[in-house]
């Protein structure tokens, strides 16, 4: 759950930076914001993959036990 929150927070931070960059005309800040959003989405995707792998592992373990 904490990993999911990290991804969401990274995306929110990135969106805020992007908007601030647009408002102030700071292209670098705007680009950093977009990068932060992509990082956040990456964190979420990685966490989802871990959860799915854990589910498959548990499923296979349950099948082996008599």
Q: What is the pLDDT of residues 9-47, one digit of tens each?
A: 999 999 999 999 999 999 999 999 999 999 999 999 999
Read off the pLDDT band of 51 (50, 70, 90).
confident
Residue 25 is given by DSSP the state T
- Mean pLDDT across the stretch 2-7? 81
pTM for the predicted model, two decimal places? 0.75
11, 25, 56, 57, 66 from 63: Cα distances, Å: 39, 58, 11, 10, 8
Q: How confident is the model at residue 1, as a pLDDT? A: 59
């Amino acid at each position: 759950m904490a990993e999911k929150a990290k991804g969401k927070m990274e995306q929110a931070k990135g969106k805020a930076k992007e908007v601030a960059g647009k408002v102030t005309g700071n292209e670098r800040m705007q680009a950093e914001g977009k990068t932060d959003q992509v990082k956040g989405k990456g964190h979420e995707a990685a966490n989802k993959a871990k959860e799915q792998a854990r589910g498959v592992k548990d499923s296979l373990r349950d099948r082996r036990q008599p």
